[in-house]
Amino acid sequence: MTTLAAILPIQSARTLFPGVLISVTIGLAAKFLSDHYDAPVMLLALLLGMAFNFLTEDDGRCVAGIEFASKSLLRFGVALLGLGITLQQIAATGMEVLTITLTGVALTIALGLILSRGLGRKTRFGLLTGGAVAICGASAALAISSVLPKNENLERDTVFTVIAVTALSTVAMIAYPIVANFLGMSEIATGVFLGATIHDVAQVVGAGYSVSDLTGETATFVKLLRVALLVPIVITLSFIFASDQNDRSRTKLPIPLFVLGFAALVVVGSHQLVPEAAKELLLSLSRWCLVTAIAALGMKTSLKKLGDVGGSAIVLVCALTVLLAAFALGALQLTSL
């Protein structure tokens, strides 16, 4: 309790407690079912969480804590995963994976711009959806939205994009491992495919570790390569739209600190600066944070809201998702992974 009080004000802790508690409880239930029925704990946490979606449909007592668990605990857990990846592993990844990742991101953003105009949408909507699909889903949508010029539809479009990429990530988390298995892909190739195509970090982790630890580690690393690209892309967009910014507060760049934390812990782990026992403890804490976060994410997933913005917007996000997956599968067929 002393530690919690040091991190959060007492009143904030009381506000967050109900939502965090239900997220942890669902995570524990998922772990129990996983241990007894040999099912993927991440997938169980997601599905159990979706059954409690009603807890996020109004401003009830659990909403703030669920939001905290789905964002802050997720980022904290992902940052800690840096201890499980070394610079030696990164060096051994090779140019093939790096090329697939970078090309997939650039291609998806470019297609977002082209298809949005073809579907009668503005270029900025294409940037928003293309960036969200290409990089890291909801986090990218929020970051890119914060540097786009304000208009009457920006908030609505951002909310739609967050809902759409979260829902499609949920579908991809379940479907993509099945596709990879059907195609007979190796564990490493499956990890690259999952990490290079699924939108949100939590679902990448869930999909990867539902296959194997090696696939999970590979998928997480490839995904975080994509996440790291958010920094230069947001900086570039902030300069492009600088002349349209009337709100001086928008000059503050939304650089995700958990990416910096992940990178720092990769360096720390690579130089063996953390005792092995402490490292295992922190990696275990990371997994629990991620299970809790994905349970909270499940509670926030609402498929019925996807139609609010219009059919062309849904077609755009779905098309970008399918095209990114098709590109990754095609590229992987040309590699030795």
pLDDT at position 2, please? Answer: 43
Query: 44 or 91: which carries more pLDDT confidence?
Result: 44
Is 144 part of any domain? Answer: yes
Range of the domain at 112: 85-289+303-333
- State which H helix or E strand residue 172 sits in: helix 154-182
Amino acid identity, residue 216? G
Confidence of residue 37 (pLDDT cuts 50, 70, 90): confident
Residue 245 confidence (pLDDT) above 80: no
pLDDT (tens digit, 9 = 90+) per residue, 136-184? Answer: 887 788 778 877 887 777 777 887 887 788 788 888 988 999 999 999 9
Lowest mean pLDDT of 160-164, 211-215, 255-259, 302-306, name the range. 302-306
Q: How many helices (H) and strands (E) does the chain have?
A: 17, 0
The answer to the question of residue 14 being in a domain is no
- Per-chain mean pLDDT for the chain: 82
Q: Does the pLDDT at position 264 exceed 80?
A: yes
Least-confidence region, from 169-173, 192-196, 250-254, 325-329 = 250-254
In the predicted structure, residue 244 carries a pLDDT above the cut 60: no
Residue 200 inside a domain? The answer is yes
Q: Is the pLDDT of residue 308 over 70?
A: no
- Residue 76 placed within a domain: no
Residues 205-234 have pLDDT tens digits of: 889 988 888 898 889 888 878 877 877 887
CB 242 within 8 A of CB 270: no
Q: What was the pLDDT predicted at 109? A: 94
Going by the DSSP 8-state scheme, the letter that residue 59 receives in this structure is S
In a domain, 206, yes or no: yes
In a domain, 11, yes or no: no
For position 93, what pLDDT does the model report? 62
User: Which of 124-128, 195-199, 226-230 shows the lowest per-residue confidence on average (mean pLDDT)?
Assistant: 226-230
Q: Longest C-alpha distance within the chain, in Å?
A: 58
pLDDT at 1 over 60: no
The percent of residues above 90 in pLDDT, for the chain, comes to: 24
- Does any domain span residue 275? yes
Contacts of residue 174, defined as CB under 8 A and 6 or more positions apart, other chains included, come to: 43, 207
Helix (H, G, I), strand (E, B) or coil at 151: coil
Q: What is the pLDDT of residue 76?
A: 87
Chain mean position to CA 131: 12
Looking at residue 9, what is its pLDDT? 60
Indicate whether this model's pTM tops 0.85. no
Contact in structure between 78 and 290 (CB atoms under 8 Å): yes
Q: Is residue 30 part of a domain?
A: no
How many independent structural domains does the chain possess? 1
Average pLDDT over residues 251-263: 63
Q: Which of 130, 140, 115 is nearest to 231 (CA)?
A: 140
pLDDT tens-digit series, residues 47-79? 888 888 888 877 778 888 998 988 788 878 878
pLDDT at 336 over 80: no
Instruction: Please determine, for residue 251, whether its predicted confidence score (pLDDT) is greater than 50.
Output: no
**Out of 2-11, 280-289, 294-303, which region has the weakest mean confidence (pLDDT)?**
2-11
**Token pair of 269 as six digits:** 């782990």
* CA-based nearest residue to 108, from 309, 317, 256, 331: 317
Integer Rg of the chain from CA: 19
